[in-house]
Structure 1
Amino acid sequence: MAVAANIHPGTQNEAPAGDPAETVLFQMDGNPMPPLADAGYVPVGRNQRLRYARFVARRSPRRGTILLLSGRNETIEKLFETIKDLGAIGFDVVTFDWRGQGGSSRLLRNRNKGYLDSFDTWRDDIEAIFKSVVLPDCHAPYYVLAHSSGALAALYAGPNMLTRASRMVLLSPFVGFGPLPLPPQWVGRIAHWLVALGFGSMRMWGKAKPADRQPFVTNRLTSDAARYARNRKLAEERPDLSLGGPAVAWVAAASRAIARVNSPSHYSQVKTPTLFVIAGSDQVVSAPAGVRLANAMRSAASVTVDGARHELLQEADLFREQALAAVDAFFRED
């Protein structure tokens, strides 16, 4: 059951139910909210909840519903521009904040740490949103559009997706670690050892506080200065919705999930037609790993946006429009 609720800065875990859905989300100049159907919370786990929002298409005929899965440290608000664009080509959109980030329940007392003990949690989040929001309230057919670690979660849940989604598009999928000081296999091993020693909640890398953002010229996420500035302003105005660097347990969980989705015994069970959209200049996740996995999967194919950085939906128009065109074309084939 989904319930509407109000968010107040810094106190979203005690928000009262029954207030207007628009107040669940945060608007600011330069980042207006698309046409909203409803928003609120879905209960999950033990006294936990997911903040979700459902948006309506801006044109007819309506082509179905996209479940939009964000990456680590992304929020519903960061996706407003993309949701507007998807609505303009006929799609309703449902999206949510994963457990452990955004306006959903955090998993540590220290809200700044990006913590996750297993991608089973995010797989269960996907299922909860389907059962509580998508299946009862949204127009079929259903599609999945996922970015980065959201794409990893979609593949992790992939064997169950055939009964849920007609097609999936995975943008800059996190199926292999990007450039790191150590070989990727050692990153997972070290994180696993640290978790076993009781250091799972320790920050693995990155900034301690959400407001600690690097300047545009050194960022690896996007070549678009305006969109980078908008997202930085969002994080500065609502630091309670953002995270610092990932915790050791998050890295260990991601490493296990990456190993699983790259296993033939797993990906052979992913029957949903899937398109991998690879960012050609990705310095956050491994672009070659995405191409290799797409080639290995019978149900998948890949395209590469040459020159694009990791955040394809936040990139310069030259790259972003190519990614959105690939989404539009692939979903039209259904």
Structure 2
Amino acid sequence: MASQAELRHRHEERPLLDAGPEGVLFQMDGNPMPPLIDAGHLQVEDDQHIRYARFAARKAPKRGTIVLLSGRNETIEKLFETINDLGGFGFDVVTFDWRGQGGSSRLLRNPNKGYLDSFDTWRDDIEAIFRQVVLPDCRGPYYLLAHSSGALAALYAGPNLLTRVSRMVLLSPFVGFGPLPLPPNWVGRIAHWLVALGLGSITMWGKAKPDAAKPFVTNRLTSDAARYARNRKIAEERPDLTLGGPTVAWVDAAARAIARVNAPSHYSHIKTPTLFVIAGSDRVVSAPAGARLAGVMRSAASVTVDGAKHELLQEADLFREQALAAIDAFFRDD
């Protein structure tokens, strides 16, 4: 395996970021970085790389390490506030950008397009992080905290995580499509047909280019104007870290992953104790689908934060503190 110095040198011709420790992470006013242990890039197959970071607990006793999985079109920088809170609970945190977004390798020549041909890729990203960062360098026990499509990836990889992860918390899990003009079953079918026609790289919905200027009043993510403005500013200052709307292939991959994790033949093999935290006013993913899956998984339970929008940890304090309390309590019971 190449050393970190070799990997940084390899990517000098196409630097990802130009601010923060060793040029890996980006800081700005109003979004301070938590205590950092390490940050860099992991080489994976086909000379692709994953940008990752490790952050230190701020409080003793040290309770282990949380592996934090973000959602689609999220970056490490957007998670700084949450990482700081988890550090205050006594956890080290490892997080990373999925391949296809953020500061990791993009999978199409056009970096604005959020592309994925299978959730196998994101499952492999989880495996790479555990093998190269978590298992050799981080204190146990290990916990998984995942949001939205990151939660879908966690469930997709779930049968392989029992011997590594003590507990999982899934926030606003993307296990069913939210409100769309078409029935959910048709979304996946149409995307699959378009992929078969060779149109997987076109944008399925939304704008093809990142849209950092989307006004707060039309957003479906959070009711907190200040956090929304902070995240918009990150996107404005670092547009290279953001994406446009999902491609047809990404939607097809998500639909297939959703079908898989909702199948008894799959979820019956997820033995890790799991808490689903449902956003009661979610208009991005299907909250009822998350509650249903939690109800049939023997290893799972669920709690609903009434009134909360999709991004629970970017929400107003009234909702965000409930989600954080659920995370802390569930991991404390281990």
Shorter chain as normaliser: what TM range?
over 0.9
Structure 1 residues 112-147: Cα deviation after superposition (integer angstroms, max 9, x where no partner): 110000000000000000000000000000000000
Instruction: Map residues 20-169 of structure 1 onto 2, 5 A cutoff.
Output: 21-169=21-169
Name the CA shift for 1:262/1:37 in 2 (closer, same or farther; >3 Å): same
2:276 maps to amino acid: F
Distance 1:103 1:6 in 2: 13
1:199 is aligned to 199
Question: Do the aligned residues in 1 keep the contact of 2:212 with 2:236 (CA within 8 Å)?
Answer: no
3-state DSSP class of the match of 2:162? Answer: helix
3-state DSSP class of the match of 1:14? Answer: coil
The answer for unaligned runs of 5 or more in structure 1 is none
3-state DSSP class of the match of 1:163? Answer: coil
TM-score by length of 2: 0.96
1:245 is aligned to 245
Root mean square deviation, CA, Å? 1.7
2:314 maps to amino acid: Q
3-state DSSP class of the match of 1:67? Answer: strand
2:229 is aligned to 229
3-state DSSP class of the match of 1:162? Answer: coil
Distance 2:15 2:212 in 1: 27
Structure 1 residues 194-228: Cα deviation after superposition (integer angstroms, max 9, x where no partner): 00000000000012211354210110000000000
1:3 maps to amino acid: Q
1:60 maps to amino acid: A
The answer for unaligned runs of 5 or more in structure 2 is none
2:295 maps to amino acid: N
Distance 1:255 1:106 in 2: 21
Query: What is the deviation of 1:163?
Result: 1.3
Distance 2:12 2:237 in 1: 15
Question: Do the aligned residues in 1 keep the contact of 2:20 with 2:26 (CA within 8 Å)?
Answer: no
Query: What is the deviation of 1:94?
Result: 0.1
Distance 1:158 1:295 in 2: 16
Identity %: 81
Distance 1:132 1:227 in 2: 33
Question: Do the aligned residues in 2 keep the contact of 1:21 with 1:40 (CA within 8 Å)?
Answer: no
Query: What is the deviation of 1:13?
Result: 7.1
Name the CA shift for 1:273/1:110 in 2 (closer, same or farther; >3 Å): same
Instruction: Map residues 278-297 of structure 1 onto 2, 5 A cutoff.
Output: 278-297=278-297
Structure 1 residues 87-109: Cα deviation after superposition (integer angstroms, max 9, x where no partner): 01100000000000000000001
3-state DSSP class of the match of 2:243? Answer: coil
Structure 1 residues 262-296: Cα deviation after superposition (integer angstroms, max 9, x where no partner): 00000000000000000000000000000000000
Query: What is the deviation of 1:316?
Result: 0.2
Aligned residues: 329
Name the CA shift for 1:71/1:220 in 2 (closer, same or farther; >3 Å): same
Question: Do the aligned residues in 1 keep the contact of 2:8 with 2:41 (CA within 8 Å)?
Answer: no
3-state DSSP class of the match of 2:31? Answer: coil
Query: What is the deviation of 1:22?
Result: 4.4
2:243 maps to amino acid: L
Question: Do the aligned residues in 1 keep the contact of 2:59 with 2:88 (CA within 8 Å)?
Answer: yes
Question: Do the aligned residues in 2 keep the contact of 1:99 with 1:105 (CA within 8 Å)?
Answer: yes
Query: What is the deviation of 1:15?
Result: 3.5
Question: Do the aligned residues in 2 keep the contact of 1:6 with 1:21 (CA within 8 Å)?
Answer: no
Structure 1 residues 178-202: Cα deviation after superposition (integer angstroms, max 9, x where no partner): 0000000000000000000000000
Question: Do the aligned residues in 1 keep the contact of 2:123 with 2:154 (CA within 8 Å)?
Answer: yes
3-state DSSP class of the match of 2:107? Answer: coil
Name the CA shift for 1:71/1:288 in 2 (closer, same or farther; >3 Å): same
1:182 is aligned to 182
Query: What is the deviation of 1:23?
Result: 2.3
Name the CA shift for 1:13/1:219 in 2 (closer, same or farther; >3 Å): farther
Distance 2:191 2:103 in 1: 27
Question: Do the aligned residues in 2 keep the contact of 1:50 with 1:98 (CA within 8 Å)?
Answer: yes
Distance 1:51 1:12 in 2: 14
